[in-house]
Amino acid sequence: AASVTRPARGILDTSVFIANESGRAIDAERLPDESAISVVTLAELQVGVLAAVDSKTRATRLATVDLARDMEVLPAEERVALAWARLRVHLAEVGRRVNANDLWIAATAVAHGLPVVTQDLDFDPLEGVLGLGIVRV
């Protein structure tokens, strides 16, 4: 599955929330009509809140967590674990590595038949693997 233009549904990865929070440009035309997130993204955003060094940063990051929690949060259940294992083995076979959290987000997308919506180039080695689509915003 090559890059998709604008999907009906998609899984937003953490980079999209951080871009929104920091004012980095997002190609809104390519955002899905309906967005979900992996529970891993919620965890990563919560780390940002807990690690905030001042109250202004904490408030900004809490608003981002609230935005994420309004979306459907997809858990890491058995079919996600199976997709994770298959992606991990594929990467080992081709001699590539992907951050473990990104791998969980990709596995969640594969298990649900949805593309990953991201600004993160780390997903590139997984594009097309097990039908994974990547939407770059």
| pLDDT tens-place string over residues 36-47 | 999 999 999 999
Percent of all residues in the chain with a pLDDT value above 70, rounded to a whole number: 97
pTM: 0.92
Number of domains in the chain: 1
Do residues 36 and 12 make contact, with C-beta atoms less than 8 angstroms apart? yes
60 is a domain residue: yes
126 is a domain residue: yes
4 is a domain residue: no
Of 80, 14, 17, nearest in space to 44 by CA: 14
3-state SS string over 47-62? HHHHCCCCHHHHHHHH
Range of the domain at 82: 9-136
58 is a domain residue: yes
39 is a domain residue: yes
Residue in the structure block whose two tokens are 């991201």: 118
Average pLDDT of the chain, as a whole number: 95
47 is a domain residue: yes
| 15-36: b (≥16 Cβ within 10 Å) or e | bbbbbebeeeebeeebbbeebb
| pLDDT tens-place string over residues 26-78 | 999 999 999 999 999 999 999 999 999 999 999 999 999 999 999 999 999 99
Of 44, 112, 99, nearest in space to 124 by CA: 99
Mean pLDDT in residue range 93-119: 97
CATH number at residue 60: 3.40.50.1010
1 is a domain residue: no
